[in-house]
């Protein structure tokens, strides 16, 4: 009798007692399984968003750095304040001497090596940066074209007072834009060093 009872409780060599399956012993309720699936899906979705934002952040830093480098090089090489004064000084030169000096002095401008390659990527920067970049390159291109026009026959054949007026307007206009270009360069430099934490918190996205 004792052997029979023991066999029923603990099993025997011929009929061992199998351990209960964890899933069969404690099955999750249907509502819990659904909740777990929802939580897992939400975590995966949020993880993808963070990874996409991080990728966007990493992609825009070299763009900002490259544009800051090119614009900064333009300003350093052109020395805009001195250039403006030198061009304005042309108004003090006698008419005939000015015409001889300007003829063939300026050649048509070339493109922008960096900007022309990555212009389609400036939309990934902040709105303020994109606007500043567009303004800066349009100002540079416009200034180049105005300088070339000063070597054209149309300008050289214009009366003295017309030449003086056009030179004065051009130099005054360009002088007003120099500080704006420097602010854009500073903004791009900050964006190129911006931490992911600041970007994730939307800090400085519009103000730089």
Tell which residue, 106, 27, 8, 112, has the closest CA to residue 67. 112
Mean pLDDT of the chain: 81
Distances (CA, A) of 159 to 86, 94, 154, 167, 172: 21, 12, 10, 13, 20
pLDDT at residue 37 above 70? yes
Residue by residue, DSSP assigns 120-186 as GGGGGS-HHHHHHHHHHHHHHHHHHHHHHHTTSHHHHTS-HHHHHHHHHHHHHHHHHHHHHHHHHHH
Supply the pTM of this predicted model.
0.70
Cα–Cα distance measured from residue 111 to residue 50, given in angstroms and rounded to the nearest whole number: 37
**pLDDT number for residue 21:** 53
**pLDDT number for residue 90:** 94
Q: What is the pLDDT of residues 131-154, one digit of tens each?
A: 999 999 999 999 999 999 999 999
pLDDT at residue 73 above 90? yes
Q: How would residue 102 be classed by pLDDT, with cut points 50, 70 and 90?
A: very high
């Amino acid at each position: 009798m004792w052997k029979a009872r023991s066999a029923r409780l603990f099993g025997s060599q011929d009929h061992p007692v199998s351990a209960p399956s964890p899933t069969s012993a404690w099955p999750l309720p249907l509502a819990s399984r659904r909740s777990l699936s929802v939580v897992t899906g939400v975590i995966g979705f949020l993880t993808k968003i963070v990874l996409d934002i991080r990728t966007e952040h990493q992609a825009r830093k070299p763009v900002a750095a490259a544009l800051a480098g090119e614009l900064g090089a333009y300003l350093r090489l052109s020395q805009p304040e001195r250039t403006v004064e030198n061009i304005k000084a042309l108004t003090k030169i006698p008419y005939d001497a000015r015409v001889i000096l300007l003829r063939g002095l300026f050649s048509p401008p070339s493109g922008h090596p960096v900007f022309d390659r990555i212009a389609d990527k400036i939309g990934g920067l902040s709105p303020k940066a994109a606007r500043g970049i567009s303004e800066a390159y349009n100002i540079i291109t416009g200034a180049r074209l105005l300088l070339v026009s000063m070597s054209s026959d149309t300008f050289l054949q214009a009366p003295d007072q017309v030449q003086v007026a056009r030179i004065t307007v051009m130099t005054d206009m360009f002088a007003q834009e120099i500080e704006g270009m420097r602010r854009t360069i500073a903004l791009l430099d900050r964006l190129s060093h911006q931490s992911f934490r600041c970007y994730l918190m939307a800090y400085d996205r519009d103000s730089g």
